[in-house]
Structure 1
Amino acid sequence: MGIEVTKRKEDTGDVYYDVSIDLNHNDGVDMSLAGNPTVTNVDHLEIFSLFRRRRLSTTETDGNPLIYALKELKNYTINDADKKIMWGAAGEIFQAWTCPWKPSCVVSIPSRHSVSFDLASWIAGYLKVDHISVPMVHKKTVAEVLSEAEVLKDSDGVPARDLKAFKKQLSRLSAASPGKIFQMKEIDVSVRQYLQPWRVSEESKDFIGHDFLLVDDLIGSGASLSTCANCLMKEGHSVVGGMSLFSPLDRELAQKASTTRHKRRRGRKT
Protein backbone atom coordinates (compact mmCIF):
# COMPACT_ATOMS: atom_id res chain seq x y z
CA MET A 1 0.00 0.00 0.00
CA GLY A 2 1.57 3.27 -1.16
CA ILE A 3 0.63 6.70 -2.49
CA GLU A 4 -0.13 8.32 -5.82
CA VAL A 5 0.14 12.06 -6.50
CA THR A 6 -2.04 13.62 -9.20
CA LYS A 7 -1.51 17.18 -10.39
CA ARG A 8 -4.73 19.21 -10.71
CA LYS A 9 -5.07 22.69 -12.22
CA GLU A 10 -8.11 24.79 -11.34
CA ASP A 11 -9.81 27.27 -13.69
CA THR A 12 -8.27 30.02 -11.55
CA GLY A 13 -4.82 28.78 -12.53
CA ASP A 14 -4.08 27.42 -9.06
CA VAL A 15 -2.28 24.07 -9.06
CA TYR A 16 -3.00 21.36 -6.48
CA TYR A 17 -1.52 17.92 -5.86
CA ASP A 18 -4.05 15.30 -4.83
CA VAL A 19 -2.58 12.47 -2.76
CA SER A 20 -4.40 9.15 -2.80
CA ILE A 21 -3.72 5.71 -1.33
CA ASP A 22 -2.89 2.95 -3.84
CA LEU A 23 -3.34 -0.65 -2.70
CA ASN A 24 -1.21 -2.07 -5.52
CA HIS A 25 2.28 -0.80 -4.61
CA ASN A 26 4.39 0.56 -1.74
CA ASP A 27 5.84 3.64 -3.47
CA GLY A 28 6.27 6.90 -1.57
CA VAL A 29 5.11 5.45 1.74
CA ASP A 30 5.17 1.74 2.53
CA MET A 31 2.03 1.09 4.61
CA SER A 32 2.25 -2.70 4.41
CA LEU A 33 1.97 -4.90 7.48
CA ALA A 34 5.05 -6.86 6.35
CA GLY A 35 7.28 -3.78 6.09
CA ASN A 36 6.36 -2.06 9.33
CA PRO A 37 6.93 -0.77 11.92
CA THR A 38 10.56 0.32 11.60
CA VAL A 39 12.85 1.20 14.48
CA THR A 40 15.43 3.98 14.73
CA ASN A 41 17.82 4.55 17.63
CA VAL A 42 18.87 8.15 18.20
CA ASP A 43 21.00 9.16 21.18
CA HIS A 44 19.77 6.19 23.27
CA LEU A 45 16.12 6.89 22.37
CA GLU A 46 14.34 4.04 20.59
CA ILE A 47 11.78 5.31 18.07
CA PHE A 48 9.22 3.14 16.28
CA SER A 49 7.60 4.43 13.07
CA LEU A 50 4.31 3.03 11.80
CA PHE A 51 4.94 3.76 8.09
CA ARG A 52 8.19 3.40 6.16
CA ARG A 53 8.93 6.53 4.16
CA ARG A 54 10.31 5.90 0.67
CA ARG A 55 11.59 8.34 -1.92
CA LEU A 56 8.95 9.21 -4.50
CA SER A 57 11.18 11.55 -6.53
CA THR A 58 14.83 12.55 -6.77
CA THR A 59 14.01 16.01 -5.38
CA GLU A 60 12.40 14.74 -2.17
CA THR A 61 14.11 15.74 1.08
CA ASP A 62 12.74 15.45 4.62
CA GLY A 63 9.16 15.95 3.53
CA ASN A 64 6.71 13.68 1.79
CA PRO A 65 3.55 14.32 -0.25
CA LEU A 66 1.40 12.45 2.29
CA ILE A 67 2.59 14.45 5.31
CA TYR A 68 2.22 17.65 3.27
CA ALA A 69 -1.36 16.65 2.45
CA LEU A 70 -2.18 15.80 6.07
CA LYS A 71 -0.82 19.21 7.11
CA GLU A 72 -2.41 20.97 4.10
CA LEU A 73 0.96 22.33 2.98
CA LYS A 74 2.31 23.29 -0.45
CA ASN A 75 -1.11 22.77 -2.11
CA TYR A 76 -1.13 19.03 -1.35
CA THR A 77 -4.54 17.56 -0.51
CA ILE A 78 -6.03 14.24 0.61
CA ASN A 79 -9.70 13.34 0.91
CA ASP A 80 -11.39 11.84 3.97
CA ALA A 81 -11.82 8.41 2.35
CA ASP A 82 -8.07 8.06 1.78
CA LYS A 83 -7.34 9.33 5.30
CA LYS A 84 -9.60 6.57 6.61
CA ILE A 85 -7.67 3.96 4.60
CA MET A 86 -4.37 5.32 5.94
CA TRP A 87 -5.48 5.23 9.59
CA GLY A 88 -6.92 1.76 9.04
CA ALA A 89 -3.52 0.55 7.82
CA ALA A 90 -1.83 2.22 10.80
CA GLY A 91 -4.25 0.42 13.13
CA GLU A 92 -3.43 -2.99 11.61
CA ILE A 93 0.29 -2.35 12.03
CA PHE A 94 -0.12 -1.12 15.60
CA GLN A 95 -2.26 -4.08 16.67
CA ALA A 96 0.23 -6.57 15.21
CA TRP A 97 3.12 -4.87 17.03
CA THR A 98 4.15 -5.58 20.62
CA CYS A 99 4.92 -2.37 22.49
CA PRO A 100 8.30 -2.79 24.28
CA TRP A 101 7.53 -0.14 26.91
CA LYS A 102 4.98 0.49 29.63
CA PRO A 103 4.29 4.22 29.37
CA SER A 104 1.84 5.82 31.75
CA CYS A 105 1.00 8.54 29.23
CA VAL A 106 1.54 9.69 25.66
CA VAL A 107 2.78 13.19 24.78
CA SER A 108 3.19 14.84 21.37
CA ILE A 109 5.95 17.33 20.74
CA PRO A 110 4.63 20.81 19.84
CA SER A 111 3.70 21.55 16.24
CA ARG A 112 1.71 24.16 14.32
CA HIS A 113 -0.23 21.27 12.81
CA SER A 114 -2.47 18.72 14.50
CA VAL A 115 -0.98 15.50 13.06
CA SER A 116 1.35 14.80 16.02
CA PHE A 117 -1.36 15.64 18.55
CA ASP A 118 -3.93 13.45 16.79
CA LEU A 119 -1.42 10.60 16.51
CA ALA A 120 -0.58 10.83 20.23
CA SER A 121 -4.28 10.70 21.13
CA TRP A 122 -4.77 7.74 18.78
CA ILE A 123 -1.79 5.83 20.27
CA ALA A 124 -2.95 6.53 23.82
CA GLY A 125 -6.32 5.03 22.92
CA TYR A 126 -4.70 1.84 21.63
CA LEU A 127 -2.42 1.52 24.66
CA LYS A 128 -5.22 2.46 27.07
CA VAL A 129 -3.12 5.11 28.81
CA ASP A 130 -3.56 8.86 29.31
CA HIS A 131 -2.98 11.36 26.53
CA ILE A 132 -1.50 14.56 27.92
CA SER A 133 -2.95 17.41 25.90
CA VAL A 134 -1.00 20.28 27.49
CA PRO A 135 2.53 20.92 26.14
CA MET A 136 5.42 19.50 28.16
CA VAL A 137 7.94 21.63 26.25
CA HIS A 138 7.99 24.85 24.25
CA LYS A 139 10.15 25.73 21.27
CA LYS A 140 12.96 28.20 21.92
CA THR A 141 13.56 31.31 19.86
CA VAL A 142 16.44 31.64 17.42
CA ALA A 143 18.19 33.98 19.89
CA GLU A 144 17.99 31.41 22.70
CA VAL A 145 19.34 28.59 20.54
CA LEU A 146 22.13 30.78 19.14
CA SER A 147 23.23 31.88 22.61
CA GLU A 148 23.59 28.27 23.79
CA ALA A 149 25.23 27.20 20.52
CA GLU A 150 27.91 29.90 20.79
CA VAL A 151 28.79 28.66 24.29
CA LEU A 152 29.01 25.09 22.97
CA LYS A 153 31.26 26.19 20.11
CA ASP A 154 33.61 28.16 22.37
CA SER A 155 33.87 25.32 24.89
CA ASP A 156 34.98 22.78 22.27
CA GLY A 157 31.68 20.95 22.62
CA VAL A 158 31.49 20.18 18.91
CA PRO A 159 33.92 17.58 17.46
CA ALA A 160 36.41 18.82 14.87
CA ARG A 161 34.76 16.75 12.13
CA ASP A 162 31.49 18.70 12.50
CA LEU A 163 32.84 22.11 13.52
CA LYS A 164 32.97 23.64 10.02
CA ALA A 165 29.37 22.63 9.26
CA PHE A 166 28.29 23.79 12.73
CA LYS A 167 29.83 27.26 12.28
CA LYS A 168 28.28 27.55 8.82
CA GLN A 169 24.87 26.71 10.27
CA LEU A 170 25.28 29.28 13.06
CA SER A 171 26.16 31.92 10.48
CA ARG A 172 22.95 31.20 8.58
CA LEU A 173 20.93 31.15 11.78
CA SER A 174 22.34 34.55 12.79
CA ALA A 175 20.67 36.08 9.74
CA ALA A 176 17.22 35.08 11.01
CA SER A 177 15.07 37.27 13.24
CA PRO A 178 16.13 36.71 16.89
CA GLY A 179 12.53 36.41 18.03
CA LYS A 180 11.61 33.82 15.41
CA ILE A 181 10.68 30.37 16.73
CA PHE A 182 13.57 28.00 16.02
CA GLN A 183 12.84 25.26 13.48
CA MET A 184 15.02 22.16 13.61
CA LYS A 185 13.98 21.15 10.08
CA GLU A 186 15.87 24.19 8.74
CA ILE A 187 19.13 22.87 10.22
CA ASP A 188 21.51 20.52 8.41
CA VAL A 189 21.02 16.95 9.61
CA SER A 190 24.72 16.51 10.44
CA VAL A 191 24.68 19.14 13.22
CA ARG A 192 21.16 18.91 14.63
CA GLN A 193 22.38 16.86 17.58
CA TYR A 194 24.34 19.87 18.90
CA LEU A 195 21.34 22.22 19.13
CA GLN A 196 18.68 22.18 21.85
CA PRO A 197 15.40 23.61 20.53
CA TRP A 198 13.28 22.97 23.63
CA ARG A 199 12.64 24.31 27.12
CA VAL A 200 10.30 22.62 29.58
CA SER A 201 6.89 24.14 30.24
CA GLU A 202 5.56 25.17 33.63
CA GLU A 203 2.80 22.58 33.22
CA SER A 204 5.34 19.76 32.99
CA LYS A 205 6.06 20.00 36.72
CA ASP A 206 2.64 18.46 37.39
CA PHE A 207 3.65 15.29 35.55
CA ILE A 208 6.89 14.36 37.32
CA GLY A 209 6.73 10.63 38.06
CA HIS A 210 5.00 9.69 34.81
CA ASP A 211 6.65 7.57 32.12
CA PHE A 212 6.33 9.47 28.83
CA LEU A 213 6.00 8.04 25.35
CA LEU A 214 6.92 10.91 23.01
CA VAL A 215 5.26 11.25 19.60
CA ASP A 216 6.17 13.16 16.43
CA ASP A 217 4.57 12.99 13.00
CA LEU A 218 7.70 12.43 10.90
CA ILE A 219 11.30 11.46 11.61
CA GLY A 220 14.12 12.99 9.59
CA SER A 221 17.25 12.64 11.71
CA GLY A 222 15.27 11.93 14.89
CA ALA A 223 16.84 14.98 16.55
CA SER A 224 13.54 16.65 17.45
CA LEU A 225 12.39 13.66 19.49
CA SER A 226 15.78 12.88 21.02
CA THR A 227 16.49 16.48 22.05
CA CYS A 228 12.98 16.76 23.48
CA ALA A 229 13.56 13.57 25.49
CA ASN A 230 16.91 14.87 26.77
CA CYS A 231 15.35 18.20 27.73
CA LEU A 232 12.62 16.48 29.75
CA MET A 233 14.94 13.96 31.40
CA LYS A 234 17.28 16.72 32.57
CA GLU A 235 14.32 18.12 34.49
CA GLY A 236 13.56 14.80 36.18
CA HIS A 237 11.04 13.31 33.77
CA SER A 238 11.07 9.70 32.56
CA VAL A 239 10.91 9.06 28.80
CA VAL A 240 10.53 5.40 27.81
CA GLY A 241 10.59 5.76 24.02
CA GLY A 242 9.36 7.54 20.92
CA MET A 243 6.91 6.93 18.09
CA SER A 244 6.19 8.57 14.75
CA LEU A 245 3.79 8.11 11.87
CA PHE A 246 6.55 8.28 9.24
CA SER A 247 10.08 6.85 9.40
CA PRO A 248 13.25 8.39 7.99
CA LEU A 249 13.73 7.72 4.29
CA ASP A 250 14.77 4.13 3.51
CA ARG A 251 18.31 5.24 2.67
CA GLU A 252 18.63 7.02 6.03
CA LEU A 253 17.27 3.97 7.86
CA ALA A 254 19.97 1.82 6.25
CA GLN A 255 22.68 4.31 7.23
CA LYS A 256 21.45 4.44 10.84
CA ALA A 257 21.37 0.64 11.05
CA SER A 258 24.91 0.47 9.67
CA THR A 259 26.11 3.09 12.18
CA THR A 260 24.48 1.20 15.06
CA ARG A 261 26.14 -2.08 14.02
CA HIS A 262 29.50 -0.32 13.72
CA LYS A 263 29.18 1.14 17.22
CA ARG A 264 28.31 -2.28 18.61
CA ARG A 265 31.36 -3.86 16.96
CA ARG A 266 33.61 -1.14 18.35
CA GLY A 267 32.20 -1.71 21.81
CA ARG A 268 32.90 -5.45 21.89
CA LYS A 269 35.69 -6.62 24.13
CA THR A 270 38.37 -8.84 22.62
Structure 2
Amino acid sequence: MGIDVSRDKFVTLNEDHQLRLVTCPDRNPALKKYPNLLTYSVYRRTKDGDKERDGNPFIYALKKTKGFRIRSRELVRFNPSFDAILDKIMERVPCGGLVTVPSSYPVAEILARRISRKNGAEIFNSIFKKATVGEVIAGFDQAAVKRQHRAEVKSQLATFAKLDPNELVTLKEMRNKIRPYFNPLSLNTDLLECLPAENLLLVDDLLSTGTTISNAAKLLKASGFNVAGAVCLLSAL
Protein backbone atom coordinates (compact mmCIF):
# COMPACT_ATOMS: atom_id res chain seq x y z
CA MET A 1 0.00 0.00 0.00
CA GLY A 2 1.35 3.42 -0.99
CA ILE A 3 0.11 6.95 -1.47
CA ASP A 4 -1.04 9.09 -4.38
CA VAL A 5 -0.71 12.83 -4.70
CA SER A 6 -3.27 14.74 -6.76
CA ARG A 7 -2.51 17.75 -8.93
CA ASP A 8 -3.78 20.00 -6.17
CA LYS A 9 -1.46 18.18 -3.70
CA PHE A 10 -4.00 16.16 -1.72
CA VAL A 11 -2.52 12.92 -0.37
CA THR A 12 -4.56 9.69 -0.52
CA LEU A 13 -3.92 6.05 0.33
CA ASN A 14 -3.63 3.64 -2.60
CA GLU A 15 -3.76 -0.06 -1.76
CA ASP A 16 -2.70 -1.11 -5.29
CA HIS A 17 0.94 0.07 -5.23
CA GLN A 18 3.81 0.93 -2.86
CA LEU A 19 4.91 4.27 -4.27
CA ARG A 20 6.21 7.18 -2.17
CA LEU A 21 5.37 5.47 1.12
CA VAL A 22 5.16 1.78 2.03
CA THR A 23 2.33 1.38 4.53
CA CYS A 24 1.65 -2.38 4.54
CA PRO A 25 2.33 -4.12 7.90
CA ASP A 26 4.30 -7.00 6.37
CA ARG A 27 7.04 -4.57 5.20
CA ASN A 28 7.11 -2.48 8.35
CA PRO A 29 8.38 -1.32 10.76
CA ALA A 30 11.60 -0.13 9.15
CA LEU A 31 14.63 -0.64 11.40
CA LYS A 32 17.67 1.64 11.39
CA LYS A 33 20.71 0.91 13.56
CA TYR A 34 22.84 3.80 14.74
CA PRO A 35 25.95 3.30 16.93
CA ASN A 36 24.04 4.15 20.10
CA LEU A 37 20.42 3.61 19.12
CA LEU A 38 17.90 1.28 17.46
CA THR A 39 15.23 3.26 15.65
CA TYR A 40 11.90 1.86 14.44
CA SER A 41 9.83 3.70 11.85
CA VAL A 42 6.13 2.98 11.40
CA TYR A 43 6.10 3.64 7.66
CA ARG A 44 8.93 3.12 5.19
CA ARG A 45 9.70 6.03 2.88
CA THR A 46 10.67 5.42 -0.73
CA LYS A 47 11.80 7.59 -3.62
CA ASP A 48 9.67 5.57 -6.04
CA GLY A 49 6.83 7.59 -7.48
CA ASP A 50 8.11 11.14 -8.01
CA LYS A 51 11.52 12.23 -9.21
CA GLU A 52 10.93 15.81 -8.12
CA ARG A 53 9.91 14.92 -4.54
CA ASP A 54 11.96 13.48 -1.71
CA GLY A 55 9.42 10.77 -0.89
CA ASN A 56 7.57 12.34 2.05
CA PRO A 57 4.50 14.26 0.82
CA PHE A 58 2.64 12.43 3.62
CA ILE A 59 4.61 14.24 6.35
CA TYR A 60 4.23 17.52 4.46
CA ALA A 61 0.47 16.95 4.40
CA LEU A 62 0.36 16.22 8.14
CA LYS A 63 2.28 19.44 8.78
CA LYS A 64 0.29 21.34 6.14
CA THR A 65 3.47 22.59 4.48
CA LYS A 66 4.63 23.00 0.88
CA GLY A 67 0.99 23.07 -0.22
CA PHE A 68 0.26 19.40 0.64
CA ARG A 69 -2.98 18.43 2.37
CA ILE A 70 -4.74 15.31 3.61
CA ARG A 71 -8.41 15.07 4.58
CA SER A 72 -9.41 13.72 7.99
CA ARG A 73 -11.48 10.92 6.47
CA GLU A 74 -8.44 9.87 4.45
CA LEU A 75 -6.25 9.71 7.56
CA VAL A 76 -8.74 7.24 9.08
CA ARG A 77 -7.91 4.81 6.26
CA PHE A 78 -4.33 4.57 7.57
CA ASN A 79 -5.43 3.44 11.04
CA PRO A 80 -5.51 -0.36 10.48
CA SER A 81 -1.95 -0.52 9.12
CA PHE A 82 -0.70 2.07 11.61
CA ASP A 83 -2.07 0.16 14.60
CA ALA A 84 -0.78 -3.19 13.35
CA ILE A 85 2.73 -1.84 12.81
CA LEU A 86 2.77 0.01 16.13
CA ASP A 87 1.79 -3.22 17.90
CA LYS A 88 4.78 -4.95 16.30
CA ILE A 89 7.10 -2.20 17.54
CA MET A 90 5.71 -2.34 21.07
CA GLU A 91 6.39 -6.09 21.17
CA ARG A 92 10.07 -5.46 20.39
CA VAL A 93 11.03 -2.51 22.57
CA PRO A 94 10.41 -1.88 26.29
CA CYS A 95 9.03 1.52 27.24
CA GLY A 96 9.27 3.20 30.63
CA GLY A 97 8.57 6.70 29.32
CA LEU A 98 8.11 8.54 26.03
CA VAL A 99 10.39 11.50 25.29
CA THR A 100 9.51 13.56 22.22
CA VAL A 101 12.02 15.39 20.04
CA PRO A 102 11.11 19.08 19.49
CA SER A 103 9.70 20.21 16.16
CA SER A 104 7.75 23.14 14.76
CA TYR A 105 4.79 20.77 14.26
CA PRO A 106 3.28 18.39 16.87
CA VAL A 107 3.54 15.17 14.82
CA ALA A 108 5.90 13.54 17.36
CA GLU A 109 3.56 14.48 20.21
CA ILE A 110 0.60 12.94 18.38
CA LEU A 111 2.60 9.76 17.72
CA ALA A 112 3.60 9.62 21.39
CA ARG A 113 -0.06 9.86 22.41
CA ARG A 114 -0.93 6.94 20.14
CA ILE A 115 1.85 4.88 21.71
CA SER A 116 0.79 5.87 25.21
CA ARG A 117 -2.74 4.64 24.56
CA LYS A 118 -1.30 1.20 23.91
CA ASN A 119 1.16 0.87 26.79
CA GLY A 120 0.16 3.57 29.30
CA ALA A 121 3.63 5.13 29.30
CA GLU A 122 3.94 8.73 30.45
CA ILE A 123 4.84 11.34 27.82
CA PHE A 124 7.54 13.99 28.32
CA ASN A 125 7.35 16.74 25.68
CA SER A 126 9.72 19.35 27.09
CA ILE A 127 12.89 17.43 28.02
CA PHE A 128 14.67 18.66 24.89
CA LYS A 129 14.87 22.11 23.40
CA LYS A 130 16.47 23.31 20.22
CA ALA A 131 20.06 24.39 20.76
CA THR A 132 21.17 27.94 20.14
CA VAL A 133 23.98 28.91 17.78
CA GLY A 134 26.13 29.73 20.80
CA GLU A 135 25.52 26.29 22.35
CA VAL A 136 26.37 24.52 19.10
CA ILE A 137 29.62 26.45 18.69
CA ALA A 138 30.56 25.86 22.33
CA GLY A 139 29.96 22.11 22.02
CA PHE A 140 31.64 21.68 18.64
CA ASP A 141 34.40 19.03 18.49
CA GLN A 142 36.98 19.97 15.88
CA ALA A 143 38.90 16.73 16.40
CA ALA A 144 35.90 14.68 15.20
CA VAL A 145 35.84 16.27 11.74
CA LYS A 146 37.06 14.03 8.92
CA ARG A 147 39.64 15.47 6.54
CA GLN A 148 37.28 15.46 3.54
CA HIS A 149 34.71 17.51 5.46
CA ARG A 150 36.98 20.13 7.00
CA ALA A 151 36.48 22.85 4.40
CA GLU A 152 32.69 22.60 4.44
CA VAL A 153 32.53 22.39 8.24
CA LYS A 154 34.79 25.45 8.50
CA SER A 155 32.46 27.33 6.17
CA GLN A 156 29.44 26.35 8.28
CA LEU A 157 31.17 27.50 11.47
CA ALA A 158 31.93 30.83 9.80
CA THR A 159 28.22 31.14 8.94
CA PHE A 160 27.27 30.41 12.56
CA ALA A 161 29.77 32.99 13.80
CA LYS A 162 27.89 35.72 11.90
CA LEU A 163 24.58 34.85 13.54
CA ASP A 164 23.07 35.94 16.84
CA PRO A 165 24.37 33.39 19.39
CA ASN A 166 20.84 33.15 20.83
CA GLU A 167 19.31 32.14 17.49
CA LEU A 168 17.98 28.57 17.37
CA VAL A 169 19.85 26.17 15.14
CA THR A 170 18.23 24.24 12.31
CA LEU A 171 19.91 21.53 10.24
CA LYS A 172 17.42 21.62 7.35
CA GLU A 173 19.58 23.80 5.09
CA MET A 174 22.79 21.96 5.99
CA ARG A 175 24.21 19.26 3.70
CA ASN A 176 23.63 15.77 5.09
CA LYS A 177 27.29 14.79 5.21
CA ILE A 178 28.23 17.47 7.78
CA ARG A 179 25.09 17.37 9.94
CA PRO A 180 26.54 14.78 12.36
CA TYR A 181 29.15 17.32 13.52
CA PHE A 182 26.54 19.67 14.93
CA ASN A 183 24.22 18.88 17.86
CA PRO A 184 20.89 20.66 17.33
CA LEU A 185 19.51 19.85 20.81
CA SER A 186 20.08 20.72 24.43
CA LEU A 187 18.45 19.45 27.63
CA ASN A 188 16.06 21.19 29.97
CA THR A 189 18.09 19.92 32.91
CA ASP A 190 15.64 21.15 35.54
CA LEU A 191 13.05 18.69 34.17
CA LEU A 192 15.25 15.59 34.24
CA GLU A 193 14.21 14.62 37.75
CA CYS A 194 10.75 13.83 36.36
CA LEU A 195 12.08 11.17 33.98
CA PRO A 196 12.15 7.44 34.79
CA ALA A 197 15.72 6.17 34.70
CA GLU A 198 15.11 3.07 32.57
CA ASN A 199 13.76 2.19 29.13
CA LEU A 200 13.11 5.63 27.72
CA LEU A 201 11.71 5.64 24.21
CA LEU A 202 12.47 8.62 21.98
CA VAL A 203 9.73 9.74 19.59
CA ASP A 204 10.25 11.81 16.43
CA ASP A 205 8.32 12.48 13.26
CA LEU A 206 10.82 11.78 10.47
CA LEU A 207 14.26 10.21 10.09
CA SER A 208 16.68 11.94 7.76
CA THR A 209 20.36 11.50 8.66
CA GLY A 210 19.60 10.38 12.22
CA THR A 211 21.67 13.23 13.65
CA THR A 212 18.92 14.69 15.83
CA ILE A 213 17.62 11.40 17.26
CA SER A 214 21.16 10.07 17.88
CA ASN A 215 22.18 13.25 19.70
CA ALA A 216 19.02 13.09 21.79
CA ALA A 217 20.00 9.60 22.92
CA LYS A 218 23.57 10.70 23.68
CA LEU A 219 22.39 13.60 25.83
CA LEU A 220 20.11 11.38 27.90
CA LYS A 221 22.69 8.63 28.29
CA ALA A 222 25.33 11.16 29.35
CA SER A 223 22.90 12.25 32.07
CA GLY A 224 22.58 8.70 33.39
CA PHE A 225 19.39 7.54 31.67
CA ASN A 226 18.80 4.29 29.80
CA VAL A 227 17.41 4.75 26.29
CA ALA A 228 15.73 1.59 24.99
CA GLY A 229 15.23 2.85 21.45
CA ALA A 230 13.35 5.31 19.27
CA VAL A 231 10.17 5.39 17.20
CA CYS A 232 9.59 7.65 14.20
CA LEU A 233 6.55 7.96 11.99
CA LEU A 234 8.51 7.87 8.73
CA SER A 235 11.81 6.16 7.97
CA ALA A 236 14.96 7.51 6.39
CA LEU A 237 15.24 7.12 2.63
Fold in common (TM above 0.5): yes
Q: State the match for 2:172 in structure 1.
A: 185
Q: State the match for 2:30 in structure 1.
A: 38
- Secondary structure at 2:138 match in 1: helix
- Give the alignment's TM-score, normalised by structure 2: 0.91
The residue correspondences of 1:1-270 to structure 2 (distance < 5 A) are: 1-8=1-8, 17-55=9-47, 56-61=49-54, 64-97=56-89, 99-126=91-118, 128-149=119-140, 152-153=141-142, 156-201=143-188, 202-249=190-237
* RMSD after superposition: 1.9
Superposition deviation, residue 97 in structure 1: 4.7
Distance 1:176 1:88, change over 3 A: farther
Structure 1: distance between partners of 2:45 and 2:89: 18
- Secondary structure at 1:248 match in 2: coil
Structure 1: distance between partners of 2:108 and 2:154: 31
Structure 2: distance between partners of 1:130 and 1:67: 25
User: Deviation string for 1:202-227 (max 9, x for gaps)?
Assistant: 21222152421001111001111110
Of residues 224-233 and 200-209 in structure 1, the stretch that sits farther from structure 2 once superposed is: 200-209
Superposition deviation, residue 233 in structure 1: 1.1
Structure 2: distance between partners of 1:21 and 1:163: 44
- Secondary structure at 1:130 match in 2: coil
Identity of aligned residues (%): 26
Q: Which runs of 5+ in 1 are unaligned?
A: 9-16, 250-270
Runs of at least 4 residues off by over 6 Å: none
> Is the 2:207–2:234 contact (alpha carbons within 8 Å) kept by the matching residues of 1?
yes
User: Deviation string for 1:43-87 (max 9, x for gaps)?
Assistant: 3200011111011322334x6111000011112110011111123
Aligned residue type for 2:138: S
- Secondary structure at 2:77 match in 1: helix
- Secondary structure at 2:126 match in 1: coil
Aligned residue type for 1:198: L
Superposition deviation, residue 239 in structure 1: 0.8
